A and B are shown apart, each in its own frame.
Chain A
Amino acid sequence: QKEVEQNSGPLSVPEGAIASLNCTYSDRGSQSFFWYRQYSGKSPELIMFIYSNGDKEDGRFTAQLNKASQYVSLLIRDSQPSDSATYLCAVNRGGSYIPTFGRGTSLIVHP
């Protein structure tokens, strides 16, 4: 089992809809969880991080963490075509300060 798993997609949503991106992880001792966005041909950039169970909101983005079920998700409300990118989930394994990345989910927001 891979340490961090994501559906590679593509996930296609219409403009204005909610995009839901999911990620599962294998190490139950993981402490920190991150979402990075990577536009085609560009390097990843941090969107959000979350440490505690529950929801964390930042503008149109909401990260959700459920440690018991070992999944973390990212919701993007009012999706825009400019949100079209690959979204990488990253998880700090317990005892490590270096994140392990999932393969990423490609999101396409069509007008």
Chain B
Amino acid sequence: SAVISQKPSRDICQRGTSLTIQCQVDSQVTMMFWYRQQPGQSLTLIATANQGSEATYESGFVIDKFPISRPNLTFSTLTVSNMSPEDSSIYLCSVGAAGAFAGANVLTFGAGSRLTVL
């Protein structure tokens, strides 16, 4: 499976600032996703990062708040803009690999970025 390097691993940020999280994969991947995991909660998909086009956002997430770049098949960034304490969370980059048949998607995750907003 792919090896994912994600940074920063953690950061403490001030309200109103923005932070960019980087995700580097050791091989070319088609499907790359950004998830959020709030304390005690499950993984929530923010968006699918599409190479060469705009990201596809899930309901409740917008590009102005979470701009995403995907310049090539091995790299993506997620920016958390104008942060508030409610954005304190773990942000996870993940890549997908096809399973035994079409429609299946096995995910490999990066180590995550733990953001604390004061």
A residues apposed to B, CB below 8 Å: 4, 31-32, 34, 36, 42-46, 49, 51, 88, 90, 92, 96-104
Interface contact tally, CB-CB below 8 A: 60
Q: Are the CB atoms of B106 and A34 closer together than 8 Å?
A: yes
Q: Is the beta-carbon distance between A32 and B105 smaller than 8 angstroms?
A: yes
Q: How many residues of B contact A (CB 8 A)?
A: 25
**Of all chain B residues, which has the CB nearest A102?**
B42
Do A98 and B103 contact each other (CB < 8 Å), given the known contacts A42-B111, A43-B109, A43-B112?
Answer: no
Please list the residues of chain B having a beta carbon within 8 angstroms of any beta carbon in chain A: 31, 33, 40-45, 48, 92, 96, 99-112
Report which of B40, B41, B43, B96 forms a contact with A97, defined as CB distance below 8 A: B96
Compute how far the CA of A96 lies from the CA of B46 in the bound complex, rounded to whole angstroms.
15
Taking a contact as CB atoms under 8 Å apart, the answer to whether A97 and B103 are in contact is: yes
Collect the chain B residues with CB atoms within 8 Å of residue A98's CB.
33, 45, 48, 96, 105
Q: Determine the main DSSP class of A at the interface with B.
A: strand
What residue in chain A is nearest B90 (Cβ atoms)? A43
Nearest-neighbor residue (CB-CB) of A45 within chain B: B109
Alpha-carbon distance A45/B4, docked complex (angstroms): 12
